[in-house]
Amino acid sequence: MTVDRILPSDEAYDLLDLVTELADRELAPRAGDFEQRGVFPRELLRTLGRAGLLGLPYPEEHGGAAQPYEVYLQVLEILASRWLAVAEAVSVHTLSCHPVATFGGEQVRKLLPDMIGGELLGAYCLSEPQGGSDAAALTTRAVPDGGDYVVSGTKAWITHAGNADFYNIFCRTGGPGARGISCLLADAGTPGIVPQAAERTMGLRASPVAQIAFDEARVPTDRLVGAEGEGFRIALSALDSGRLGIAACAVGLAQAALDYATDYARQREQFGRPIIDFQGLGFLLADLATQVSAARALMLAAARLRDAGRPYSTEAAKAKLFATDTAMRVTTDAVQVLGGAGYVADHPVERYMREAKVLQIVEGTNQIQRLVISRSLAR
C-alpha cells in the first residue's frame, strides 16, 4: 500500500523514492534468509552508508545530509517495512553519533565525518547487567591515569557489540547518581574492550546484541564527550532522539504487517467470499489501519517539534510508547488474519510479531515512557 506523505522539500520526495527503490532491491529479498540464519548484514550497511543514509540528520559540514528529523524518520520507516534489523541498525548508529555531534568539543568533533561517512558503525553502551531502567545507577568505572581513563565494568544488551567500530561508553567518573556519570568515545580495537558471545534473541536475529567486558581498557582523556559529570544528560538527550527512531521502526514494521494481512484477506476465500468481506475481519483491519496512521502522525508531530528546536522529550516518549504498542498489536492481529498460515515461517508475519516485542523494551521500556509522560503531567 502506498502511504500518502506530505514532505517538506522536493529533495525529500526524491530521497524517499531512492530509499524505497534501494530497500526493495537490497533489503526485502534478503531479510527472511538472514533473519533465519542470524547473520548480521554488515556489507549492506556499508551500501547504505555509501548512499549517505548513515548520517541523514547531521550537518553537511560534518559529512551529513542535513535532513530534518521528520524526513530521516520516514526513511527509517521505509527501511523497517522491508527489514527491521537494518532500520534498527541505522537508528542505533545515528543515536551513537548524537553525543559527539551535539556535545563533543573540537577534539572529538573532528572524528565525526568518519563516524557518519558510511564506513564505520557505532554502538551505544548504557545498559548493564544490574541496571537497565535505572541507568543512573550504572557501575562501570573510568579512573584517570596519565593521559587516559582506565575503564572497568560490564555493559549488557549492546546492539552491534563485536561488530561496531566505535563505542559510546557511559561510565562513572565521580560519585553515585546521575551527576557522577561521563561519556567516553572509544575505538572498538582498544585493548581491554572484550565483546562477549551474542545473545540468542526471540527476533531481530540479524542484529547482534551482546555484553561487553571492559577490562582496564585505556581510553585517552581527549575522548571525553562533553564535560566530566555530563554523561547522563548526554545519554538522555541521545535517547530522546533515539526513541523517535524506534517509533519510526515500529511504524514501518506495523505498516508491513498491515499490508501483508490486507493483501492476504483480499485473496483468501472462505464460505465463497474473500475473508475481508466479513465485517468481523474487515473492521479488525480498519482498526489496525487507523492505529498505524495515528502512530505515524504522533511520530511526525514529535519530529516536527524537534526540527523547530522546541522541547520534544515528552512527545517522543508518547510516540515511542504508542507506535511500539501499535506494532505489537498490528503484528499479532496480522498473524490472526492469516489463520494457520500466520503461524508458519512461509509468511513473514510470525517474524514481524517476534520482532515487534523488542521495540516495547529498547531505549526505555514502555513502562519507562509512561514514567516520562506522567512526570511531565505532574510538573
Ligand X SMILES: Cc1cc2nc3c(=O)[nH]c(=O)nc-3n(C[C@H](O)[C@H](O)[C@H](O)COP(=O)(O)OP(=O)(O)OC[C@H]3O[C@@H](n4cnc5c(N)ncnc54)[C@H](O)[C@@H]3O)c2cc1C
Shortest spacing between CB 167 and ligand X, in angstroms? 10
Find the binder of ligand X among 91, 127, 182, 313 (CB under 6 A): 127
Q: Assess contact for 122 and 160: CB atoms under 8 A.
A: yes
Considering beta carbons, is residue 276 or 321 the nearer one to ligand X? 321
Task: Spell out, one character per residue from 64 to 93, where the chain touches ligand X: x when CB under 6 A holds, - when not.
Answer: ----------------------------x-
Q: Which residues pair with 123 in a beta bridge?
A: 167
Among 43-51, 143-151, 201-209, 308-316, the segment contacting ligand X (CB under 6 A) = 201-209
User: Residue 224 forms beta bridges with which residues?
Assistant: 184
Q: Are 159 and 207 in contact (CB under 8 A)?
A: yes
Compute the least distance from the CB of residue 181 to ligand X, in Å.
13
- Interface size with ligand X, residues (CB under 6 A): 22
Other CB atoms within 10 A of residue 59 CB: 13
363 has catalytic annotation = yes
Q: Which is nearer to ligand X, 107 or 366 (CB)?
A: 366
Which one of 61-69, 121-129, 250-258, 334-342 is the stretch in contact with ligand X (CB under 6 A)? 121-129
Query: Apex CA 301: angle with CA 296 and CA 303, to 5°?
Result: 95
Closest C-alpha to 288, from 85, 10, 1, 19: 1
Q: How far is the CB of 205 from ligand X (least distance, A)?
A: 10
Applying CB under 6 A, the span of 78-86, 118-126, 142-150, 247-255 interacting with ligand X comes to: 118-126
Residue number with CB closer to ligand X (276 or 328):
328
Cβ closer to ligand X: 249 or 368?
Answer: 368
Residue 175 CB: number of other CB atoms within 10 A?
8
CB of 185 to ligand X, least distance (A): 15
Which residue among 132, 231, 252, 348 contacts ligand X (CB under 6 A)? 132
Nearer to ligand X by Cβ, of 337 and 362: the residue is: 362
CA dist 35 → 243, 261, 352 (Å): 23, 20, 11
Q: Which of residues 147-166 bind ligand X (CB under 6 A)?
A: 157-159
Bridge partners of residue 186, in order along the sequence: 167
**How far from the centroid of its chain's Cα atoms is residue 155's Cα?**
18
Please, which residues have CB within 8 angstroms of residue 183's CB and are 6 or more apart in sequence?
Answer: 99, 103, 168, 169, 170, 171, 224, 225, 226, 230, 231, 234, 235
- Whether the Cβ atoms of residue 356 and residue 288 lie closer than 8 Å to each other: no
Neighbouring C-beta atoms of residue 325, cutoff 10 Å: 19
Per-residue string for binding with ligand X, 209-248, x by CB under 6 A?
Answer: x---------------------------------------
How long a stretch of residues is the chain? Answer: 379
- As a whole number of angstroms, the distance between CA 355 and CA 277 comes to 29
C-beta closer to ligand X: residue 270 or 374: 374
329 versus 370: smaller Cβ distance to ligand X? 370
374 near ligand X, judged by CB under 6 A: no
CB 86 within 8 A of CB 48: yes
Q: Which positions are catalytic?
A: 363
| Residues at the contact surface with ligand X, assessed by CB under 6 A | 92, 124-127, 132-133, 157-159, 201, 204, 209, 358, 361-365, 367-368, 371
